[in-house]
Structure 1
Amino acid sequence: MRWMVYGAGAVGGVLGGLLHEAGRDVVLVARGPHLDALRRDGLTLASPEGTRSIDVPAAGDAREALGADGPVTVLLAVKSHQTQAAVEDLTSVLPASTPVVSLQNGVANEPWLLRFFADVQGVCVMMPTGHLEPGVVEQHSAPVPGILDVGRYPGGTDATSRAVAAAFRDAGFVSEPRPDVMAWKHRKLMMNLGNAVQACCAPGPAADDLAGRAVAEGEAALAAAGIPVVGVAQDRERRGDLLRVAPVAGRERAGGSSWQSLRRGTGSIETDYLNGEVVRLGRLHGVPTPANALLQATARRLAATGGVPGSVPAADLLARLG
């Protein structure tokens, strides 16, 4: 089985590189300067254990990645707002029977993918990684790089779930099939509501207050919608002490995925599918979500205007909320 890692940024790049080192047949799909660097120099993986170059094949789209070989399992690791474009590319060359595994934040990707592919798997990604320069990805936890539990969407596990989990374990990850993976992903969604705060605001008590308000709204929206979600204690127990974040020589882990989008100046950010998911649920079920709506709009504006991460005073946002 070949593994097409579609989106070779922080999560996809680290995962693809480690799968390749574990002897799996892997091809990365990337674009722009990142693709150029991968083709020229290979994938540079920086971790607490050192920095190394991994000679993993890279392609610019699904057709090039597929080549004459097949079949493939797709590991989809683009940001949620990039899913539609990825699906348009994937469906141009792959049959509907192709397994597609979503290694993405948020909970909107799996139902979208099911419109086009019959075998959709969700992964709850607990994986501190970074990607700030072309050709380079950062793994910030060692020796375990991350926890990647997987399950079929909308529920249950199957042969694909077991095969994917086994491949992840071969690459050094902690992974097991979970029939309720979407309940785990909804807990991760609650944690990701603070991504916009981290991206837009400097750390401090006001930022903590703002993030707390966003999570409280999220919990209320999930409850009103009757959506199953794993509890905080269960999530904490699963993580245990498995993820041991340590310094990476010459590099600082300054922020998560949304912060990195602003830092790289990509012009876009995935908060529409994080805070925006809470806003959507609130509108459907009559739950006020002003903090999430404000964070969603603020992050989108900052990304579109090339704003600097941390440049919006959290106190100003709190004042607007009243």
Structure 2
Amino acid sequence: MCEARPMRYIIIGAGAVGGAVGGRLAEAGQEVVLVGRGPHRAALAEGGLRLRVPEGELTLRLPVVAGPGELGPLRADDVLVLAVKTQDSEAALQTWGPAPVEGGGTAAERLPLLCAQNGVESRRLALRRFRQVYGVCVWLPSTHVEAGVVSAPCAPLTGILHLGRHPHGTDDTVRRIAADLEKAHFEAPVVPDVARWQYAKLLSNLGNAVEAVSGPVDGPVAEALLARVRAEGTAALDAAGIGYVSAEEQRAVRGDKVTLVPLDGAPRGGGSSWQSLSRGVGTIEADYLNGEIALLGRLHGVPTPLNELLQHLANTFARERRVPGSLPVAELVRLAEEAEAAAG
């Protein structure tokens, strides 16, 4: 029997997550194509991907495209990794779904698509077009605020990526992908219930908006607010009958495998929402994080005033291009108390 041809990974959105995953795969010998736009794409094409990791800075000169038209027919062994923010998923799916594949058919009909993103909405959007959709629970602290540069400051692993078919199950394709990731500084458990991991990650990501508008969640006041925000999230998930992995199970899997290491010249900054504000892109993912909880609350009769407030504030900061962390925590707490009082 002939050995299967190695997969080529097309990273749609070569930012913090996509750049780290694509860069590590390329370093491990996999064929990788990066998809970017604007100044980041120009920097990648001119100087390569500068991936800052605990071992030092890697410069990876990889093919960079803006869309499928620059590649010609896609290959039958291509894997599409959707790593844009969820608010950009629809445009990416519209662009890549109809792309022709060698031997006939389209990407949506023939190629696997991995949704390596925060939140849970993109995999549903993808399944409307793509036949083979896989969820990825992304535990990968990484930063992209400078064109052409991605920092992935963790060791001994760069990250942990739980993988599974959407809506459920596993198959040989996802096991092959996991094997490639395991050679590239990742742990990649293949699980039949990846949604449970993604919903657990959603709960942890509810604090992204707090960090984006008021800075690091540090101290008892901010921590107490975040606890109330996440309590709304668990109440909404419980009311909807949606299962999620417990904090204890997450800690048992992660242990000390993904530990932040200070990188010279590469301050950590903040998470994905903070980074969006720092880059001034004008959009943010809050509609698919805090907004997901607000949606579930409305569907199942659970009040979610704090998540609604954070969704509104994060969107306002993005739209008006405000400086991240510029709302004092005391003011955020005051607004939160008013929102809770109004909700009764």
TM-score range with shorter-chain normalisation?
over 0.9
User: Equivalent of 1:3, from 9, 14, 17?
Assistant: 9
Corresponding residue of 1:70: 75
Corresponding residue of 2:44: 38
After TM superposition, give the deviation of residue 316 of structure 1 in Å. Answer: 2.0
Letter in 2 for 1:153: H
User: Equivalent of 2:113, from 81, 100, 117?
Assistant: 100
Corresponding residue of 2:340: none
Corresponding residue of 1:25: 31
8 Å contact 1:48–1:249 — kept in the other structure?
no
Residue-by-residue CA offset, 1:93-117 (whole Å, 9 max, x unaligned): 1242210001000011111100000
Is 2:271 the partner of 1:265? Answer: no
Partners of 2:73 and 2:321 lie apart in 1 by 41
8 Å contact 1:184–1:229 — kept in the other structure?
yes
User: Equivalent of 1:278, from 270, 293, 317?
Assistant: 293
8 Å contact 2:68–2:74 — kept in the other structure?
no
Partners of 2:213 and 2:239 lie apart in 1 by 28
Equivalence map 1:1-322=2 (5 Å):
1-64=7-70, 66-71=71-76, 72-93=78-99, 94-203=107-216, 204-322=219-337
Deviates more, 1:308-317 or 1:248-257: 308-317
Letter in 1 for 2:195: M
The percent of aligned pairs where both chains have the same amino acid is: 49
Letter in 2 for 1:156: G
Q: Which runs of 5+ in 1 are unaligned?
A: none
Residue-by-residue CA offset, 1:135-176 (whole Å, 9 max, x unaligned): 100011023100011000011111121011111112121112
Residue aligned with 1:73, SS: strand
8 Å contact 1:126–1:148 — kept in the other structure?
yes
Residue aligned with 2:311, SS: helix
Residue-by-residue CA offset, 1:208-257 (whole Å, 9 max, x unaligned): 22211110000000000000111110011111110011011111101010
Partners of 2:305 and 2:123 lie apart in 1 by 26
8 Å contact 2:116–2:136 — kept in the other structure?
yes
Deviates more, 1:310-319 or 1:81-90: 310-319
Partners of 2:108 and 2:307 lie apart in 1 by 38
Q: Which runs of 5+ in 2 are unaligned?
A: 1-6, 100-106, 338-344
After TM superposition, give the deviation of residue 191 of structure 1 in Å. Answer: 0.2
8 Å contact 1:218–1:278 — kept in the other structure?
yes
Letter in 1 for 2:236: A
After TM superposition, give the deviation of residue 318 of structure 1 in Å. Answer: 2.4
After TM superposition, give the deviation of residue 258 of structure 1 in Å. Answer: 0.5
After TM superposition, give the deviation of residue 43 of structure 1 in Å. Answer: 0.6
8 Å contact 2:290–2:311 — kept in the other structure?
yes
Residue aligned with 1:96, SS: helix
Displacement over 6 Å in runs of 4+: none
Letter in 1 for 2:324: P
Residue aligned with 2:186, SS: coil
Letter in 2 for 1:166: A
Partners of 1:128 and 1:107 lie apart in 2 by 18
After TM superposition, give the deviation of residue 292 of structure 1 in Å. Answer: 0.1
Residue aligned with 1:19, SS: helix
Partners of 1:123 and 1:52 lie apart in 2 by 25
Query: TM-score w.r.t. structure 2 length?
Result: 0.91
After TM superposition, give the deviation of residue 312 of structure 1 in Å. Answer: 1.1
Partners of 1:275 and 1:68 lie apart in 2 by 39
Partners of 2:227 and 2:43 lie apart in 1 by 40
After TM superposition, give the deviation of residue 68 of structure 1 in Å. Answer: 4.4
After TM superposition, give the deviation of residue 315 of structure 1 in Å. Answer: 2.2
Residue aligned with 2:327, SS: coil
